[in-house]
Structure 1
Amino acid sequence: MAVLVAIPARYASSRYPGKPLVPLTGAGGRSRTLIERSWLAAQAVDGVDRVVVATDDDRIRDACEGFGAEVVMTSSDCFNGTERCAVAHEALGGGYEIVVNLQGDAPLTPHWFIEDLVTGLRAAPDAGVATPVLRCDGAALNGFLADRKAGRVGGTTAVFAADKTAMYFSKEVVPFTSQTYADDAETPVFHHVGVYAYRPDALAAYPTWPTGPLERLEGLEQLRFMENGRKVLCVEVEARGRQFWELNNPEDVTRLETMMKQMGLQ
């Protein structure tokens, strides 16, 4: 029942080149790179047997080995993080029950998001992949809308059926709502958290499928599963008072640093 966490990281991001090595300063003035903070988030998860960083870049490898991470080198031909995780799992010899993709731009991911995700996938044998969703409060939704108004691609939203099967993911805010919400109000919008848990057969099949039109338009890798008829399970997680955001744009650095200092994360 072994669980592998793979953290895919590439240097040549089209929106933010060198993003994994961007320094983030937390409480007490402690500065660590984005990739180190993501690795530390993975280390805090219970029930994980192995954590690796999967990259094709020597600069990222050297930085990761410098703080003690295990690194798996992958091809630069990997189109996205899911493909990189598939290559890393194969390079390690396979054999894991579940492979978790903790994307390297989400260092504030609480450990219970991943623990609940693994539990949710184990309880749904008909699902090949699962991903967390977090109900937005008014403050988070307002942040999404502000990003879109400013022309920034911010977080991703998700809609799903009553049985938690994903119906769609988008970088637009879905479902549409014209209502305004107080910062602490509950909203009908769910933030998709950039973490995935895969069964090995679904992960191995993924690179064999062509990129579909929805994945290409949205730039969202999970849509390839849906475009090929694979069930994606949405696992609702609770913030428990914890702030959460990914580093999508240079403007997010200040936002993440403010959150880390407020939470006392060094």
Structure 2
Amino acid sequence: MSVLIVVPARYASTRYPGKPLVEIQGATGEKKTLIQRSWEAAKSVSGVARVVVATDDDRIRAAAEAFGAEVVMTPESSRNGTERTAAALDALGAEADQYEIVVNFQGDAPLTPSWFVEDLIAALRANPDDMMATPVLRTSEEALAGFRRDRSEGRVGGTTALMNRHGHAIYFSKEVLPYGGDAGPTAKAPVFHHVGVYAFRPEVLQKYLSWPEAVLEKTEGLEQLRFVENEERITCVEVDGRGKHFWELNNPEDLPVIEAVLADEKVA
């Protein structure tokens, strides 16, 4: 049995239309689209059998195929990356039976380190009863200040996660939670940045499609809350950033941040 990575990409983003085709400049001045940089990040994960881009848009399909990606066309009705990941698995038909783990590698997170995904895969293999896992990153002072600045200026920034003592998700929010939380390894109530990558067993993806869109999911705009509302356990795996700056492309204002990281890390 093997691992499939799906990189979902939607052109009609509410906050940032056309986002997958936005060009991002690397350290050498070369520009690549967001979807290409996200696909390249997904391809860097070790121990993965296959990486596909899942979309409903011919512009994204053409761009992805031009840089060598395998593309799976999915329905326009897919409302989020998890639904699109499940749809891509369905579209593979009998081929899907060979995959023990399916990863939703968000198409707007090109700075996702390979070991974040590798840690999720290892966690699911070590715990056969767990159906899904997602990474959380203990915030630095700089990252936490960025979260709070986004909220104070009315921007939708990163997502925070709350877990119980067993490491299972209690809640996710676009607000900075917990209230009064601090950063750093000695914080009494640390703030954890939720990294929007998910590793699933195929059966839980099918359950997700069978549930109606959840109230909290619609309110927060966070697809993973459908699992929380339906009492499906989400295992949060604390990952080590290893000094690497992680950020997603949520708003146009995030573009220079990502380009600065690529320049600093000498990524072409």
- TM-score of the superposition, structure 2-length normalised? 0.96
Q: Deviation per CA, 1:160-215, whole angstroms, max 9, x where unpaired?
A: 01111111100000011176x6xx77651000001000001101111110011110
Spell out the pairing of 1:188-227 with structure 2 (5 A cutoff).
188-227=190-229
Structure-2 residue corresponding to 1:47: 47
AA in 2 matched with 1:44: S
Q: Deviation per CA, 1:232-251, whole angstroms, max 9, x where unpaired?
A: 00011000111110000000
Mean Cα displacement is larger for which, 33-42 or 184-193? 184-193
CA RMSD of aligned residues (A): 1.2
8 Å contact kept, 1:127–1:230: no
Spell out the pairing of 1:29-44 with structure 2 (5 A cutoff).
29-44=29-44
Structure-2 residue corresponding to 1:97: 100
112, 115, 122: which one aligns with 2:115: 112
218, 235, 252: which one aligns with 1:250: 252
The CA distance in 2 between the partners of 1:170 and 1:22, in whole Å, is 26
Deviation at 1:55, TM superposition (A): 0.0
Deviation at 1:123, TM superposition (A): 1.9
- Structure 2: give runs of 5+ residues left out of the alignment: none
The CA distance in 2 between the partners of 1:206 and 1:70, in whole Å, is 25
AA in 2 matched with 1:47: G
Q: Deviation per CA, 1:39-81, whole angstroms, max 9, x where unpaired?
A: 0001110010000000000000000000000000000000111
The CA distance in 2 between the partners of 1:171 and 1:265, in whole Å, is 29
Secondary structure of the 1:97 match is strand
Structure-1 residue corresponding to 2:58: 58
Give the total of aligned pairs.
263
- Structure 1: give runs of 5+ residues left out of the alignment: none
Structure-2 residue corresponding to 1:237: 239
| Stretches (4+) displaced over 3 A | 184-187
- TM-score of the superposition, structure 1-length normalised? 0.96
Q: Are 2:137 and 1:134 aligned?
A: yes
The CA distance in 2 between the partners of 1:222 and 1:129, in whole Å, is 11
Spell out the pairing of 1:77-88 with structure 2 (5 A cutoff).
77-88=77-88
Secondary structure of the 1:29 match is coil
AA in 2 matched with 1:13: S
AA in 2 matched with 1:59: R
Q: Percent identity?
A: 60
Structure-1 residue corresponding to 2:230: 228
Structure-2 residue corresponding to 1:143: 146
